[in-house]
Amino acid sequence: MKNFGIVVALLLAMVVLHGCGEKKLNNVEYGIRNQILYYANGDEPKSVDPHLITGTVENNIIINLFEGLTSKDAKTLEARPGVAESWTISEDGRVYRFKLRENARWSNGDPLTAEDFVYSWRRALNPRLPNAYAYMMFYIEGAEAFYKGENTDFASVGVKAISPHELEVTLKAPAHFFLQLLDHHSYYPVHGPTLEKFGGVEDPTSRWALPENFVGNGPFVLKRWEINKVVELDKNPHYWDADVVRLQAVHFLPIDDQQAEERAFRSKQVHLTNTPQMDIEKIQVYRKDRPEVLRVIPTYASYYYEFNVQRKPFDDARVRKAFALAIERDLLVKNVTKGGEVPAYNFVPPDPEGYTPQIYWREDVEEARRLLAEAGFPNGEGFPVLTLLYNTHDNHHKVAVAIQQMLKKNLNVNIQLENKEWKVYLAARKNVEHDIARAGWLGDYLDPSNFFDILRSYAGNNNTNWKNPRYDELMNTIEATSDPARRNELFEEANRILAEEMPVLPLYFFVDINLVDTSVKGWYDNVMHFHPLKYVYLEASEP
């Protein structure tokens, strides 16, 4: 009997302890209690070096690790003071004079000065650094020549530190979006002494951006990075505005599987998802059952396929055009992507600030067949089997499968699908090893030039091998033009060239579809998928 008593006691203890185990807080509750945000970020970031990254996955993290001269408002996207507390713009709109904060600091406590910006921008423009975004800085006088090696003296570039806290920037031509652009990662400052310690400015594999060495100037610092597990950010105590930062830490989880992501959200393992698209089939369920957490936002972003125009037969514009004309975009957005995307007949999305591109073509299967026949492939005969590359992701797969079939049905052309993991996919595109590749572009600032610039002959993000001197010339003219009406005319001309040449195949304009727990405050919807965490905090919703 004694033994029996002990057994009962043990069993009871087990039951009780087990109960405790079950009451263990999930990430969402734990996060609310400790101000730790759990963030589903879609994929493993390539790097957090602001001059090397290209993707939104990286950008989502990096906007919290660094701060530019200005800082975009999360709600309105207007440029607000960042590291610069104020600025003046010359009459002709070309010379900006920034007054930097006296109390701006690096995360190791070093003061942040105007020299740091000169150093960083010089690095960003270093032709030996594989910075795909260098062209974003060509608005600055002399930047392009310096990048192309035509001028090796950085003094010729329009960036000058007048005093430790005064920076003067001279532009080639007035650019109304320049203040906004300053919050782009290519303009972020990097910490010189740290870079020098780990291999210098030109080393793309430098270890300076690893957690143990990292120095930044944003509201958060890089704390821990476990590959395929988590990127952990801690609040930066040296940040000049640290008082308003309420989150203590952020955990970015690289969940690249949408089902897993949605389940993680449902089981309260993450507060929010911030990935391009969520699981398509789940959208309807959330619309019906939990509309309060579903955020559907039209975005200044384009989903398209890029051709390798050097690969036969894509060297023939008629073939590219035939492909574009043969895809039924309405069917695609209504029945495959299902998120309310807008079918695209232009590469550039309509700009919320004014420029609406004209449409020069629509789906036309007859015309597509005619063009293909003209290019030497009547009824698709003799057309080689080409490969469509996309990064491993369910939605991309679905779109690719639908398009594969449309091309087969409408043009009698067979294409193969090939999916690759994010980093491999980026590398393949960068080296233009593909025949056709999926691509997406999310506006970095609200101006059509952001989109058009990608297809300049030498742009780091032009993965098509397409080179058109007339187009480049137009882009240069646009840079030097400040009259909005004239700019729109020039944009339209560029748009017409794209419609004729079709180096990229527009599919649709994105909508952002994400899940955000009701406890997340200070998270605003905007057309640029821009979600800085400086003002975000967590608060339990009423019971």
Partner 1 sequence: MSTEAVDFDLNRLEKGRSLWQDAFSRLKKNTLAMGGLVFLLLLIVLAVLTPWIAPYSYEEQNLMLGATPPSAEHWFGTDIFGRDQLTRILYGSRISLMVGFIATAVALCIGVTWGTIAGYIGGRVDALMMRFVDILYALPFTIFIILLTVVFGRSMLLLFLAIGAVEWLTMARIVRGQVMAIKHQEFIEAAVAMGMSRPRIMFKHVAPNVLGPIIIYTTLTIPSVILLESFLSFLGLGIQAPQSSWGSLISYGVETMEEYPWLLIFPALTLSMTLFALNFLGDGLRDALDPRVSKD
Residues of this chain that interact with partner 1 (CB under 8 A) are 259, 279-282, 285, 328, 331-332, 334-336, 392, 394, 397-398, 400-402, 404-405, 408-409, 416-420
CB of 266 or CB of 467, closer to partner 1: 266
Distance between alpha carbon 524 and the CA centroid of its chain, in Å?
17
Nearest CB to partner 1, comparing residues 175 and 400: 400
The region, left, alpha or beta by phi > 0 then psi within -120 to 50, assigned to residue 216 is beta
CB of 285 to partner 1, least distance (A): 7
CB nearer partner 1, residue 73 or residue 257: 257
Give the pair of three-digit tokens for residue 131: 């910075």
For residue 244, give the nearest of 108, 74, 98 by alpha carbon. 74
Between 334 and 486, name the residue whose CB sits nearer to partner 1.
Answer: 334
Q: How far is the CB of 323 from partner 1 (least distance, A)?
A: 17
Give the nearer residue to partner 1 in terms of CB position, either 51 or 396: 396
CB of 406 to partner 1, least distance (A): 8
Of 24 and 288, the one with the shorter C-beta distance to partner 1 is 288
Structure tokens at 340: 């309310």
Tokens of 445: 């600032």
Q: Considering the complex, what minimum distance in angstroms separates the CB of residue 381 from partner 1?
A: 19
Nearer to partner 1, 296 or 402 (CB): 402
In 3D space, the residue among 166, 165, 164, 168 whose CA is nearest the CA of residue 155 turns out to be 168
In the bound complex, what is the minimum distance in angstroms from residue 402's beta carbon to partner 1? 6
Alpha helix segments (H runs only) across 464-530: 469-479, 484-501
Distance CA 87, CA 98 (A): 4
Dihedral pair phi/psi, residue 279, rounded to 5°? -55, 120
**Cα angle at 83 between 147 and 521, to 5 degrees?**
115
Q: Rank residues 297 and 336 by Cβ distance to partner 1 and give the closer one.
A: 336
Token pair listed for 341: 């995307």
| Nearer to partner 1 (CB atom), residue 356 or residue 392 | 392
> Where does residue 336 rank: exposed (0-12), middle (13-18), buried (19+ CB within 10 A)?
middle
Query: 129 with 123: CB under 8 angstroms?
Result: yes
Q: What's the closest the beta carbon of residue 280 comes to partner 1, in angstroms?
A: 8
Nearer to partner 1 by Cβ, of 244 and 285: the residue is: 285
Q: Which two tokens stand for residue 326?
A: 């043969």
Query: What is the DSSP code (8-state) at residue 228?
Result: T
For the residues of 268-283, what is the DSSP string, one character each?
Answer: TS-SEE-SS---HHHH
Residue 513 CB, nearest distance to partner 1 (Å)?
A: 16
Q: What are 486's two structure tokens? A: 């004239």
> Measured from the CB of residue 1, what is the shortest distance to partner 1 in angstroms?
50
Question: How far apart, in whole angstroms, are the C-alpha atoms of residue 493 and residue 278?
Answer: 36
Q: Which is nearer to partner 1, 86 or 416 (CB)?
A: 416
Least distance from partner 1 to the Cβ atom of residue 57, Å:
21
Dump the DSSP string for 134-168. Answer: GGGGTTBTTHHHHHTTS---GGGSSEEEEETTEEE
> Cα 377 to chain center, whole Å?
38
Query: How is residue 226 annotated by DSSP?
Result: E
CB of 44 to partner 1, least distance (A): 17
- Least Å distance between CB 437 and partner 1? 15
Chain-centroid distance of CA 15 in Å reads 49
**Phi, psi at residue 474, to the nearest 5°?**
-60, -45
Task: For residues 119 and 123, give the distance between their C-alpha atoms in angstroms, rounded to a whole number.
Answer: 6
Place of tokens 């200005």: 70
Q: Which of 397, 423 has the CB closer to partner 1?
A: 397
Q: Are strands 249-253 and 230-235 parallel, antiparallel or unpaired?
A: antiparallel
Q: Exposed, middle or buried: residue 479 (CB in 10 Å: 0-12, 13-18, 19+)?
A: buried
- Residue 263 Cβ vs partner 1, minimum distance, rounded to whole Å: 10
